[in-house]
Copies of this chain bind each other. A is one copy, B any other.
């Protein structure tokens, strides 16, 4: 699977090089390319290409559509990093740390419109491209709603499991859903198959996000590049913490930014002991099982196999 993903990631990177050249005014395009060029796993665009292939389409023709998904993803990261005042992303300084807040707002805005421009260059019929654009614009609105909910959670005392699931569905799930759905749509799949692909992406994307919360607690900084337990001391109301609250588990370092490494590890042990981490992991597992089931409508194919493996990887990964 790794090899299959890498081949598609390389196609996406080469297409970005072609469709998003650094041109006048250079500063703007350098700022826009900074995060895009810093890698990342390109899971979303790869999912689009795989979904298209699984639906009988040709990946190469849809490379611009895959790029559009990657640009939207990067645009949201750039703006989120401003909002969270994050210093580092993918091991490099965040865009706003180099080009300032105004530069980063504009770099994100540029990727946003470039995503639609690039999608318009996809080799497909006007009907299909328009369908994909409608899916993408709906998705971008939902992502904004998800980020808004996430910010609202910060000022709330308690968040319910339903509220949390809605937030991660919008913030993370829908873009994976659009990736798989747009792949199918552009490949000419039936509305039923497009819906199934969308569901596959959305549910596995939610599993991906839940696994992110687990990684925060269980993966050492040397591996993840992020401080272990960082979400915890920031006071993030993840599903893990929602489970802990509901079971009256006391987590001393929650929202305690100056906690020592030892204190953090002790709190992580508490969350392991209370079954809170296991709870989030089992919900992630459920999401992925349900997502994979949605693919039953597709005939067997190597691309479908890779999609199923990708779904497992999303909750098996350690960083």
Contact = CB atoms under 8 A, between A and B. Distances in A.
Interface of A: 24-25, 27-28, 79, 82-83, 101-103, 105-106, 108-110, 112-114, 116-117, 120, 126-127, 129-130, 133-134, 136-141, 144-145, 147-149, 151-152
Q: How many copies of this kind of chain does the complex include?
A: 2
Given A82-B101, A103-B148, A120-B133, 4 more contacts: A83-B102, A101-B101, A117-B134, A133-B133
A133 B144 CA distance: 20
A60 B53 CA distance: 41
A175 to B, nearest CB: 12
Nearest to A114: B141
27 contacts: A24-B145, A27-B148, A28-B145, A79-B105, A79-B106, A79-B109, A82-B101, A101-B101, A102-B151, A103-B151, A105-B105, A106-B148, A108-B109, A109-B144, A110-B144, A112-B113, A113-B139, A116-B133, A116-B136, A116-B137, A117-B134, A117-B138, A120-B130, A126-B126, A126-B130, A130-B130, A133-B133
A144 B28 contact: yes
Q: Secondary structure of the A side of the interface?
A: helix
A149 B23 CA distance: 13
Given A120-B130, A120-B133, A138-B117, A83 B105 contact: yes
A36 to B, nearest CB: 15
A249 to B, nearest CB: 29
A134 B120 contact: yes
Contacts of A127: 126
Given A79-B109, A130-B130, A133-B130, A148 B28 contact: yes
A64 to B, nearest CB: 12
Given A102-B151, A105-B83, A127-B126, A25 B137 contact: no
Contacts of A25: 145, 148-149, 152
9 residue pairs, one from A and one from B, having the closest CB atoms:
A113-B140, A116-B137, A83-B102, A28-B148, A117-B137, A110-B144, A120-B134, A113-B141, A126-B130
A67 to B, nearest CB: 13
A152 to B, nearest CB: 7
Most B CB contacts (10 A, CB to CB) among A101, A134, A141, A147 go to A141
A136 B119 CA distance: 13
Given A112-B112, A127-B126, A130-B129, A106 B147 contact: yes
A140 B108 CA distance: 12
Contacts of A130: 120, 126, 129-130, 133
Contacts of A83: 101-102, 105-106
